[in-house]
Chains A and B, each alone.
Chain A
Amino acid sequence: MSNDPIHQFHTNNTVDAPIAQLPGPFGDLAFNDAALFMVAATGLTAAFFWWAMRPAALVPGRAQVVAETGYNFIHGMVRDAAGDEGVKRFFPFVFTLFLWIFAANMLGMFPYFFTPTSQIVVTATMALMVFFTVIVVGIAKNGFKFFKLFVPSGVPWYILWFVVIIEVISFFSRPLSHAVRLWANILAGHLVLKVFAGFVPMIATAGLVGIVGAILPLGMTVGLYALEFLVAFLQAYVFALLTCIYLNDALHPGH
């Protein structure tokens, strides 16, 4: 095991099962670690909800309380940010995103496990999914009025063209910041964690003084680990919340 903090982000093919041969320089379509843990996050979430909601009791058990609290939490969030219509149209989408990101982040907290959300392809795919949903639903529902999103009311005409350009750039910057926020948080957290954890064996090899001194980075690692659990939840929440805010623009364009 290397001390290289980047090493954990390599997408190795631990399960060596090439799915298909791709044409030309692309090689084979392999089932790599990222894919493995994405499937695991999906499967664990589905299995937990299936198992927790199986009794569907009027007086819920412990697992059912957890499942229903999560449901209500995101349900309330979607309603606050996008209204009742947003709940009707988008709640399953937002709830799926939240659960999946949360499960992937939490799986990544296990040592030696891979974190799919530390790859920008994964977060960018989700952010672009939201982005195109906003455009498609916005135009399908509001027609031409959707473009009022870029034209704020009450701006004099001689400055309006400038404001429209800025609004368009701001709109197109959304998927980028949406994807980068989740990715950077997870990547940075895991890097810092690995750097401090790497200090422990490095210092501990320096004799008795080193072993005593290694307590400091060890304590730091424990503290950072706790912080990473908070980040794992918070980033899933923030991603879902911003999804709601962006989807609200599709339903109610115009400021």
Chain B
Amino acid sequence: MADRKPPEDALSDLRRRVAEARGEGASNAPPPQSAAGLALRFGGEFGAAIIVGALLGFGADYFLHSGPWGLMIGFGLGFAAGVVNVVRTAQAYNRAHPPSPNAPSIPDDED
């Protein structure tokens, strides 16, 4: 031990070299997700946001005595949040599973 590096540095150095030697995470590809699991995931994201939005609106009604308006507005906001959730999930999924470059393109009505 001629070099006096702190142990943290030496450890991260070792970790880097081990990762390089191993070819960095080749064995760590995520398993393919079944179509039903994916559908359930999108549906869950969407539904959960609607339920939470409606509950928040209902809670506002309960404390402010503001009639059905909180529930209605909360429902709408929950719907919007659900769409945001689904879009985020889809984006994350597409990033993790990029489409094959050789896949045929989907025909567009505009063309």
Contact = CB atoms under 8 A, between A and B. Distances in A.
A237 interface: yes
Given A176-B48, A180-B44, 16 more contacts: A84-B12, A166-B81, A167-B84, A169-B52, A169-B56, A169-B78, A173-B45, A173-B51, A173-B81, A177-B47, A177-B49, A184-B40, A184-B44, A230-B34, A234-B33, A235-B37
A3 interface: no
Given A169-B56, A177-B45, A180-B48, A73 B28 contact: yes
Contacts of B78: 169, 173
A177 B44 contact: yes
Interface residues of B, number: 28
B90 interface: no
Given A80-B25, A173-B48, A166 B77 contact: yes
Contacts of A238: 33, 37, 41
Interface residues of A, number: 31
Nearest to A245: B92
Contact of A76 (B28, B45, B81, B92): B28
A185 interface: yes
B70 interface: no
Interface string B27-42: 1101101100100110
A176 B40 contact: no
A231 B36 CA distance: 10
Nearest to B28: A76
Contacts of B56: 169, 172
Given A185-B40, A234-B34, A169 B49 contact: yes
A170 B92 CA distance: 16
19 contacts: A72-B27, A72-B28, A77-B30, A166-B77, A166-B80, A166-B81, A169-B49, A169-B52, A173-B45, A173-B53, A173-B85, A184-B44, A185-B37, A227-B34, A230-B34, A233-B31, A234-B37, A237-B30, A241-B30
Nearest to A230: B34
B20 to A, nearest CB: 14
B12 to A, nearest CB: 8
Interface string B48-64: 11011100100000000
A169 B33 contact: no
A181 B41 contact: yes
Contact of B31 (A84, A166, A184, A237): A237
